[in-house]
């Protein structure tokens, strides 16, 4: 059965039979019309059925699952202060801290006129305040898998009364190696429960996971609104990789872009590009998985407020960012996984606004573009940066060879010896080597396993629960 067989969607929220406390919260939010996923999901979830939702962030799916969950749990809401009256009844699992934080923020807004309590737990921050919130009792729990299990281990919470499980961005959870954690968590839940799973893409692994978790689910699908949206202009500029940084600065200045999310495939690449843009007088910052949660939140906040014009991010760090109507994204690197292209351009043109998605493609990335075009079933427009003059220092020079040698020495290599993948890639991208990048990689001590894997070529993207040091220490070489 699909959602299409369910009662016809209502044009406003009052038709769903939602409690007045929820409608009042929606009024505060300024929501008047349900988005397509909400129109389909809310009645299905209220009916108690399991759901397999094909929808990505930006479609309004959070309210699509959160509102009916709140509605379902309302009869159990208690004004009592006793923790026993507030067991975890809905568990919402998220792949990243940012998404968890964002979803928790939304859930708290939607439930604010009810006595249902909500909280969020994710890694990278002190456990103590989370423990205190869990001990006080909370019905709606939003969590990343790793930190949730840490709390389970510390016996700060029981999952024995969970009635609804949400797996959000399930594809990303699998990509990040969370499957064993998910299985452990699911084993702790009551067998009889409602399951809601959302995924932007449907690999065989996702179908297998859905089969193992969902019970006779209703399929809810909304168009990947931005993947093929006519209101997103998608352009590819082919150019050598060593001209990319100057090209990004050029595109931002000449197009007068004021709020741009730029994607880099590597953590080290995000920092480097942001620094270069700052040197060019562009107000830029970087976020990636090794930055502390606090630093990421500060960077994100400044970007949302428009204080930072350009945010350079890895796929994992950018995943789920709720930045409404972002006018432009730039793919500094083409993503290794073609699905990530869809996620990336999904940042633009939300809520029907028009958007711009620019991709810079080096000759060695042509295969990646071919994969993307195959997936989205269209050929992207090729543009030419006719007014772009790569500066002298962008071209290969004896100085670059010097820098490369210095770099090799820093990594203890001989000339001609094969460089570690991260080193050869990153060095191929720039000429003027910043001392910072010749130092061994030092992971931020605050970074936690929830987000240990940044975008990586498929062959190296294996489950990890440890932050690897690039040099020494870890067996797994993590790319910058
Ligand atoms: P989501 O896909 O859940 O991350 O939601 C994307 C954005 O749309 C968030 O900023 C929500 O606050 C917003 N949103 C969700 N539902 C509605 C609605 N019915 N009307 C207007 N905005 C909405």
Mutation probe of ligand 1 site: the residue of 11, 56, 60 with most atoms within 8 A of C-beta: 60
Query: Higher-confidence residue: 404 or 215?
Result: 215
- The per-residue pLDDT for 345 is 82
Stretch 170-189: mean pLDDT: 93
Q: Is the pLDDT of residue 135 over 80?
A: yes
Ligand 1 shell residues, CB under 6 Å: 31, 33-35, 38, 57-63, 322, 324
The number of C-alpha atoms within 13 Å of 342 and in the hemisphere containing its C-beta is 24
Task: Give per-residue pLDDT as tens, 209-234.
Answer: 999 999 999 999 875 543 445 568 89
CA 29 to ligand 1 center in whole angstroms: 9
Indicate which residue's Cα is closest to atom 20 of ligand 1. 31
Judge: domain 3-221, CATH 3.40.50.300: yes
CA 59 to ligand 1 center in whole angstroms: 7
Confidence class for position 304, pLDDT limits 50, 70, 90 = confident
CA 230 to ligand 1 center in whole angstroms: 20
Query: Higher-confidence residue: 417 or 78?
Result: 78
Mutation probe of ligand 1 site: the residue of 32, 34, 62, 326 with most atoms within 8 A of C-beta: 62
CA 35 to ligand 1 center in whole angstroms: 8
Query: Higher-confidence residue: 351 or 24?
Result: 24
Task: Give per-residue pLDDT as tens, 384-393.
Answer: 987 888 765 4
Within this chain, domains 3-221 and 232-414 share the same CATH topology:
yes
- The per-residue pLDDT for 330 is 96
- The per-residue pLDDT for 390 is 75
CA 31 to ligand 1 center in whole angstroms: 8
Stretch 329-358: mean pLDDT: 81
- Which residues share a beta bridge with 382? 236
Q: Is the pLDDT of residue 398 over 60?
A: no
Q: Is the pLDDT of residue 400 over 70?
A: no
- The per-residue pLDDT for 405 is 35
Task: Give per-residue pLDDT as tens, 42-99.
Answer: 999 999 999 999 876 677 899 999 999 999 999 999 999 999 999 999 999 999 888 8
Indicate which residue's Cα is closest to atom 18 of ligand 1. 31
CATH architecture of structural domain 232-414: 3-Layer(aba) Sandwich (3.40)
Q: Could you tell me if residue 155 is left (phi over 0), alpha (psi between -120 and 50 degrees) or otherwise beta?
A: left
Where in the chain are the domains? Answer: 3-221, 232-414
Mutation probe of ligand 1 site: the residue of 12, 28, 63, 107 with most atoms within 8 A of C-beta: 63
CA 58 to ligand 1 center in whole angstroms: 7
Confidence class for position 301, pLDDT limits 50, 70, 90 = confident
- Which residues share a beta bridge with 221? 54
CA 138 to ligand 1 center in whole angstroms: 24
- The per-residue pLDDT for 241 is 92
Indicate which residue's Cα is closest to atom 13 of ligand 1. 60
Query: What rounded mean pLDDT belongs to the chain?
Result: 78
Query: Higher-confidence residue: 8 or 188?
Result: 188
């Amino acid at each position: 059965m699909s959602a299409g067989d369910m009662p016809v969607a209502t044009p406003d929220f009052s038709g769903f039979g939602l409690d007045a406390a929820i409608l009042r919260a929606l009024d505060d939010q300024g929501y008047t019309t349900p988005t397509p996923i909400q129109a389909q999901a809310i009645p299905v979830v209220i009916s108690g059925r399991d759901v397999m939702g094909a929808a990505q962030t930006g479609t309004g799916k959070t309210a699509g699952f959160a509102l009916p969950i709140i509605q379902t749990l309302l009869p159990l809401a208690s004004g009592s202060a006793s923790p026993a009256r507030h067991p975890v009844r809905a568990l919402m699992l998220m792949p990243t801290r940012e998404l968890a934080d964002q979803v928790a923020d939304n859930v708290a807004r939607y439930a604010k006129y009810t006595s249902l309590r909500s909280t969020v737990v994710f890694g990278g921050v002190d456990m103590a305040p989370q423990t205190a919130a869990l001990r006080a009792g909370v019905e709606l729990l939003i969590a990343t898998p790793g930190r949730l299990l840490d709390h389970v281990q510390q016996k700060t919470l029981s999952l024995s009364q969970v009635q609804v499980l949400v797996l959000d961005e399930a594809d990303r959870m699998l990509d990040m190696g969370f499957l064993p954690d998910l299985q452990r968590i699911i084993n702790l839940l009551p067998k009889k429960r409602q399951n809601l799973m959302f995924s932007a893409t449907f690999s065989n692994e996702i179908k297998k996971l859905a089969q193992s978790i969902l019970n006779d689910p209703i399929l809810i699908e909304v168009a990947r609104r931005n993947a093929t949206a006519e209101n997103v202009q998608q352009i590819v500029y082919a150019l050598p990789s060593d001209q990319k940084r100057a090209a990004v600065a050029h595109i931002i200045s000449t197009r007068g872009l004021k709020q741009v999310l730029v994607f880099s495939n590597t953590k080290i690449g995000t920092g480097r590009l942001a620094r270069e843009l700052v040197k060019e007088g562009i107000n830029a910052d970087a976020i990636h998985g090794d930055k502390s949660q606090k630093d990421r939140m500060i960077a994100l906040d400044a970007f949302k407020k428009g204080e930072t014009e350009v945010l350079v991010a890895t796929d994992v760090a950018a995943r789920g960012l709720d930045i409404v109507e972002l006018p432009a994204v730039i793919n500094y690197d083409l993503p290794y996984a073609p699905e990530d292209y869809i996620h990336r351009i999904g940042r633009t043109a939300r809520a029907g606004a028009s958007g711009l998605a620019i991709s810079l493609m080096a000759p060695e990335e042509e295969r990646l573009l071919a994969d993307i075009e195959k997936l989205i079933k269209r050929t992207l427009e090729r543009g030419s940066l006719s007014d772009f003059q790569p500066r002298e220092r962008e071209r290969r020079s004896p100085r670059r060879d010097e820098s490369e040698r210095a770099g090799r020495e820093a990594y203890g290599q001989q000339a001609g010896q094969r460089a570690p993948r991260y080193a050869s890639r990153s060095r191929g991208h720039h000429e003027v080597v910043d001392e910072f990048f010749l130092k061994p990689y030092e992971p931020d001590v605050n970074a936690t396993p929830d987000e240990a894997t940044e975008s990586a070529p498929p062959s190296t993207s294996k489950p990890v629960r440890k932050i690897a040091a690039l040099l020494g220490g870890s067996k797994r070489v993590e790319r910058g």
